[in-house]
Amino acid sequence: MPFIDETLSPRPRTSYDVHTRRELGRAMFSTLGAAALGRFLAPELLAEPALAAEDHPLTVESVQRTSVRLPFLPNSAKNMARELPHWEYFDIFEVKLKGGTVGIGEGSMYYSWGFTNEEDIARARGKNAAQIMWDDSFGPGLQVAFFDAVAKFAGVPVHALLGRKVHQVTPVSWWAIEMNPDDWLTECKLAVSQGYTSFKTKGRPWMDVYAQVETIAAAMPESFKVNFDFNDTLLDADRGIPVIRELAKFKQMDIFESPIPQSDAEGNARIREATDVKIAMHYGTPKPEIVVKTGCCDGFVVGGGASRVKAQASQAAETGRPLWLQLVGTGITAAWSAQMGGVLRNATWPAVNCHQLYEHSLLKQPFVVKEGKTAVKDEPGLGYDIDREALKRYTIERPKERPDPRRLIKTTWNDGTVMYTANDGKINFMLNAGMKGLYPYFKRGVRTEVVPDDGSAAWTKKWERAQSGPFKAEA
């Protein structure tokens, strides 16, 4: 099954919700699309009868989906192999309009805020792209392609359809999964060489977070900033505050994201009071009024479809807090994120797009970052073209199910403790165990490595035993 980020998932819907929201949505999406285009297209093209015509130049004529496997860079590949090897798989969408313009979009096959199926493609055909481009239910691949195609037809950048441009450049962060300190330093040096000034990574009990930060502090300038996303693995404020205080001693530490469960507003407020390092939370939990009342965070992580992002950014602005955009994918998604960042006044924290993981961006033009920021392009559409040769090179037959090869992970501590963890058919199997407190708690000297599958009976025995959860090896 694909993984849907629960922080971006809607609440369960009743049949009443489905029908009333769908009806309201159609009207809202149609209004938003027409209003955005009213500045750029002739009035006769935007009249209601014309918009509904099958031969309207903005009508979706065809949708082409191409499946690709985009290899990780070597350092990323070694570390993403633990829990997230499926992040290499994407669907690339090309939406052709009756007027001849083609828009591009992409969606991860197995990690996203939403997914596009054949039914979505079928219901897009014959519809006016301007009327459906704000409909998040089409998923990121189709939605971005709608915006790109409509903007190209109108001869304007996507940001002109999203709102009023308020930033000429927008900040963007490097991203990497949790790594041992030596690999972490490799990533940071690569980030700096490509113009980045900030780095988001993961804080995990099976890695030495202290050595990670100490290594970076010794090699990187104080202006290079680090964001640790703990994904709740500090568990609670009492245990988390000593870890936070130790890491906060280093000037490079900039943001701690979701240190403990976000529902614990009081605990997060205690952590925030214990450090000068900023605290970030995914928008929505706790509710904005509780955030304001308790002061449990300094800013938000916002992601999802265009309508959701715009709404959450507006609500976040009412609390007086900044945000970063978390829109994950290839260079196509990074280009979309930059366009969105250009119209959100409070999108002042570096966006997280994860496109740095891959050996190719799928873009024909380079995605340039200077002093931690990228330009909000003014060329029509996303401002980038797809690299056709790269698309052909990475095209694959779409997998029938999520690739999930057998993996065995070995974690060792200075006191001689050894634990083994194995993939168990679930995504984030190590994180799930960490959130349950099944590993020793954030100790120094811990290292984690993938144990290559040598086909031996001993390897298989460990892997099979770890199907029920991490276990300690016998001394």
The predicted structure's pLDDT at residue 4 = 40
Q: Is 458 exposed, middle or buried, given 0-12, 13-18 or 19+ CB atoms closer than 10 A?
A: exposed
Separation between Cα atoms, residue 49 and residue 33, nearest integer Å: 15
Q: Are 456 and 464 in contact (CB under 8 A)?
A: no
Residue 76, token pair as written in the block: 């990323």
Whether residue 322 is found in the same domain as residue 447 = no
Half-sphere exposure of 152 (CA within 13 A, CB side): 24
Give yes or no for a contact between 228 and 203, defined as CB atoms under 8 angstroms apart: yes
Considering 98, 127, 157, which residue would you say is the last residue of a domain?
Answer: 157
For residue 162, tell me if it sits in a domain. Answer: no
CB-based contact 323:313 (threshold 8 Å): yes
Q: Are residues 428 and 363 in the same domain?
A: no
Q: Which residue has the tokens 């633990």?
A: 82
Dihedral of the alpha carbons of 60, 107, 329, 341, in degrees to the nearest 10: 40
- Provide the terminal-to-terminal Cα distance of the chain, rounded to the nearest Å: 37
CATH number at residue 199: 3.20.20.120
Domain membership of residue 123 (yes or no) is: yes
| 103 CB-contact burial (10 Å; exposed 0-12 / middle 13-18 / buried 19+) | buried
CB 410 within 8 A of CB 85: no
**264 in any annotated domain:** yes
Measured between alpha carbons, how far is 361 from 367 in angstroms, rounded to an integer? 8
Q: Would you say the C-alpha torsion 129, 134, 136, 142 has a positive or negative sign? A: positive
CA–CA distance, 282 with 390 (Å, rounded to integer): 34
Report the largest interatomic distance among the alpha carbons of the chain, rounded to a whole angstrom: 79
387: three-class secondary structure by DSSP:
coil
Tell which of 129, 157, 185 closes a domain.
157
Q: Same domain, yes or no, for 198 and 151?
A: no
Do 19 and 138 belong together in one domain?
A: yes
At residue 48, the 3 state secondary structure works out as helix
pLDDT at 110: 96
Nearest to 416 by CA among 459, 475, 375, 355: 475
Euclidean distance between CA atoms 142 and 22, whole angstroms: 18
Total number of domains in the chain: 3
Same domain, 301 and 281: yes
CA atoms within 13 A on the CB side of 395: 12
- Together in a domain, 189 and 286: yes
* Tokens at 235, concatenated: 């568990």
| SS3 of residue 138 by DSSP | helix
Same-domain pairing of 242 and 302: yes
- Cα–Cα distance measured from residue 133 to residue 122, given in angstroms and rounded to the nearest whole number: 15
Strands 225-229 and 198-202: parallel
Place of tokens 């797809």: 386
Q: Is residue 100 domain-resident?
A: yes
Question: Is 283 found in the same domain as 205?
Answer: yes
The number of residues making up the chain comes to 475
What pTM value is reported for the model?
Answer: 0.92
**pLDDT tens digits, the chain, 475 residues: what are they?**
343 433 333 333 333 333 344 444 444 455 555 667 777 777 777 777 777 778 899 999 999 999 999 999 999 999 999 999 999 999 999 999 999 999 999 999 999 999 999 999 999 999 999 999 999 999 999 999 999 999 999 999 999 999 999 999 999 999 999 999 999 999 999 999 999 999 999 999 999 999 999 999 999 999 999 999 999 999 999 999 999 999 999 999 999 999 999 999 999 999 999 999 999 999 999 999 999 999 999 999 999 999 999 999 999 999 999 999 999 999 999 999 999 999 999 999 999 999 999 999 999 999 999 999 999 999 999 999 999 999 999 999 999 999 999 999 999 999 999 999 999 999 999 999 999 999 999 999 999 999 999 999 999 999 999 999 999 998 5
- Confirm if 442 and 205 have CB atoms less than 8 A apart: yes
412 lies in the same domain as 437:
yes
Q: pLDDT at position 134, please?
A: 96
Give yes or no: residues 226 and 265 share one domain: yes
Instruction: Specify the CATH number for the domain of residue 58.
Output: 3.30.390.10
Cα separation, 53 vs 51, in Å, equals 6
Is 401 a member of any domain?
Answer: no
Q: Answer positive or negative: Cα dihedral of 344, 346, 348, 351.
A: negative
- Both tokens of 178, joined, read 């949790």
At 49 the pLDDT is: 73
Q: What is the dihedral of CA 266, 267, 270, 271, to 10 degrees?
A: -140
| β-pair partners for 112 | 4
Element (H, E) at 225: strand 225-229
Domain boundary among 382, 399, 429: 382
Boundaries of domain holding 136: 14-157
- Classify residue 388: in a domain, yes or no: no
User: Comparing C-alpha atoms, which of 161, 148, 168, 32 is closest to residue 97?
Assistant: 148
Query: Does 427 reside within a domain?
Result: yes
Q: Are residues 246 and 365 in the same domain?
A: yes
Q: What is the pLDDT of residue 23?
A: 46
What is the structure's pLDDT at 25?
45
Q: What's the token pair of residue 203?
A: 């804080």
Contact (Cβ atoms closer than 8 angstroms) between residue 2 and residue 111: yes
* CA-to-CA separations, 179 to 213, 240, 260, 265, 449, in angstroms, rounded: 11, 20, 20, 29, 9
In a domain, 345, yes or no: yes
Q: Are residues 150 and 190 in the same domain?
A: no
- In order of 113, 199, 246, the CA distances from 253 in angstroms are 28, 10, 11
| C-alpha to C-alpha distance for 265 and 306, rounded to whole angstroms | 28
